[in-house]
Amino acid sequence: MRSIDPAMKGDPGGRWLRHDDPLWPAMLAGLPHDIYHQPAYLHAEARWQGGRPEAFVYAEGEDFWFAPCIMRRARLPGIEAAGHVLDMVSPYGYPGPVATAGSAASGFCERAFAAFLAALRQRGAVSAFLRSHPCLDALPPIAGSPDITERAWATVLIELDADLDVVWSGVSRRRRQQIACARRAGMCARRLAFADGLPWLRRIYDETMERVGVGGHERFNAAYFRALDPLAAHLEVWLVELQGVPVAATLVSRCGGLVQTLVGGTSTAALPRSPDRLLVSAHASGARAVHLGGGVGGRDDGVLCFKSSFGPGRARFRTVRAVLDPDRYAALTQARAASLGVDVRTLEQTGYFPAYRAEPSAEATGANTGTARQ
């Protein structure tokens, strides 16, 4: 990490990086990280969410703390009179702050987080929403405060450093039987490079989104997937085929020995056969762990139950909601509620943060309720 130090001089404490700053990949080379911290991933997410990809870096001697961000500045619908509103949001997934190994014990992460919030306030940000990384969490414990709150959920993590038979024994008996049955029925899983598997992934993903009624801004388009091209070395598509025809697909990342499932779907015709069971159990060779994520919106639901059947391992995912300018936050939320003809409580009950961006008619399963895609 010493080679990075000169770039940090003259700005003791913290500094902001653009996604095209050469210091960004240089920082990651010396930090434990995942695909969610790569500048190309932030760039794709920022284009989709509508914002600017940046990162905040805090340094003390040999220790570094790195937080990827999407900075959003916009006139909000219904409250244009408030002018441009600036807030910060983590990209989707598990992009939480990461830090040099061993730095957490000294209170370093607490100081880094405080500097991060101070830097956001200095820029005039009204609020900040952060997601942690369940395996690389450098967010400090959040003390009770009306303006900074934390939520935590269990996610499923399958460690692969044990003997394969031991890993397989962690899969529930019922799930093993279903996987064996699917294989006898002629299903098989295979792994493709990102470019080769993308056409099948998009076809199955689009069919899945049509079936569940997801459209518009909540649905990834061709431009989003094209923006992931620079990450092709870290991406692959897992397919389940039935008699040679792909019937399920998942976009998977591999970074630092960790496998993450990003987005996928199942063809309507194959739903009764549940081919996704083979996706979860296939082709994790060469990885130290597979992170399957949790339930929808952090709930203890059928999705979490399904994932839990593949192993007993658990990780902890957290989100942090910070109101950086309480007076302006309250005023914006009140103005937004008035523009929609509802009261403030209705916006708050959506579970969306910040409340001044909430849509009361939408179910609270979106970007800022703490969910990831898988």
Residues 250 and 182 in one domain: yes
Tell me whether residue 191 is in a domain: yes
Residue in the structure block whose two tokens are 């591999």: 254
Q: In this model, does residue 364 exceed pLDDT 60?
A: no
Note the pLDDT of residue 282: 57
For residue range 39-52, list pLDDT tens digits in order. Answer: 999 999 998 888 99
Q: Are 356 and 85 in contact (CB under 8 A)?
A: yes
DSSP secondary-structure letter at 372? -
- Same-domain pairing of 11 and 151: yes
Is the domain of 20 the same as that of 143?
A: yes
Same domain, yes or no: 225 and 166: yes
Say what the pTM is: 0.88
Task: Mention every residue, 6+ apart, whose C-beta is less than 8 A from residue 353.
Answer: 127, 129, 321, 368, 369
Note whether 81 and 15 are same-domain residues.
yes
Tokens of 271: 């739903």
**How high is the pLDDT of residue 374?**
39
Name the residue with tokens 């999407």. Answer: 70
pLDDT of residue 208: 92
The number of domains in the chain is: 2
> Does 25 map to a domain?
yes
CA dihedral 10, 14, 18, 24 (to 10 degrees): 90
pLDDT tens-digit series, residues 23-35: 999 999 999 999 9
Q: How far apart are the C-alpha atoms of 46 and 48, rounded to whole Å?
A: 5
Answer with the one of 243, 269, 287 that is the final residue of a domain.
Answer: 287
Domain annotation covers residue 312:
no
Q: Are residues 358 and 248 part of one domain?
A: no
- Domain range spanning residue 99? 2-155+317-369
**How high is the pLDDT of residue 368?**
61
pLDDT for residue 10 is more than 60? no
- Say how far apart CA 238 and CA 84 lie, in whole Å: 42
Counting every residue, how long is the chain?
374
Backbone phi, psi, residue 8, to 5°? -95, -10
pLDDT in tens, 115-163: 999 999 999 999 999 999 999 999 998 877 889 999 999 999 988 876 6
Name which of 245, 306, 308, 299 is nearest 276 in CA terms.
306
What tokens appear for 274 in the block? 């549940």
* pLDDT above 50 for 37: yes
Based on the fold, state whether residues 189 and 74 are members of the same structural domain.
Answer: no
Phi, psi of 238 (to 5 degrees): -95, 130
User: Which whole-number Å values give the CA distances from 271 to 146, 172, 214, 278, in the listed order?
Assistant: 45, 21, 18, 13
Task: Kindly report, residue by residue over 246-279, the tens digit of the pLDDT.
Answer: 999 999 999 988 999 899 899 998 888 888 778 7
Task: Lowest mean pLDDT of 13-27, 171-185, 234-248, 310-324, name the range.
Answer: 171-185
- Range with the largest mean pLDDT of 85-94, 152-161, 364-373: 85-94
Q: Examine the fold and report which residue of 232, 266, 287 is the final residue of a domain before the chain moves on.
A: 287
Mean pLDDT for the chain? 86
- 281, part of any domain: yes
pLDDT of residue 163: 67
The pLDDT of 176-184, averaged and rounded, is: 84
What pLDDT, on a 0 to 100 scale, did the predictor assign at position 3?
Answer: 44
52 contacts: CB under 8 Å, gap ≥ 6? 46, 70, 71, 72, 73
Q: Which of 287, 305, 333 is the last residue of a domain?
A: 287
Please report, for the domain that includes residue 178, its CATH number.
3.40.630.30
80 confidence band (pLDDT: 50, 70, 90): confident
The answer to whether residues 36 and 53 touch, using CB atoms and an 8 Å cutoff, is no
State whether 150 and 168 are in the same domain.
no
Instruction: Give the residue among 18, 330, 364 at the shortest CA–CA distance from 147.
Output: 330
188 within some domain: yes
pLDDT digits (tens, 9 = 90+) for 332-357: 999 999 999 999 999 999 889 999 99
Long-range contacts of residues 142-145, Cβ cutoff 8 Å, at least 24 apart: 142/320
Instruction: Indicate if the pLDDT at residue 7 is higher than 60.
Output: no
Neighbouring C-beta atoms of residue 169, cutoff 10 Å:
12
**Residue 185 has what pLDDT?**
84
- Looking at residue 143, its pLDDT comes to 78
Q: Which of 74-78, 179-183, 238-242 has the highest mean pLDDT?
A: 238-242
Domain assignment present for residue 219? The answer is yes
139 and 269 fall within a common domain:
no
Is residue 307 in some structural domain? no
- Average pLDDT over every residue of 83-94: 92
Q: Are residues 237 and 363 in the same domain?
A: no
Q: In this predicted structure, what is the pLDDT of residue 172? A: 83
Asked whether residue 150 falls in the same domain as residue 23, the answer is yes
Q: Can you give the pLDDT at residue 138?
A: 94
Do 47 and 18 share a structural domain?
yes
DSSP H helices, the chain, are 5-8, 23-29, 39-49, 108-122, 164-169, 173-184, 194-212, 222-227, 276-281, 302-308, 326-340, 344-348
What pLDDT score does 74 carry?
A: 84
Task: Let me know if residue 300 belongs to a domain.
Answer: no
Determine the pLDDT at residue 369: 54
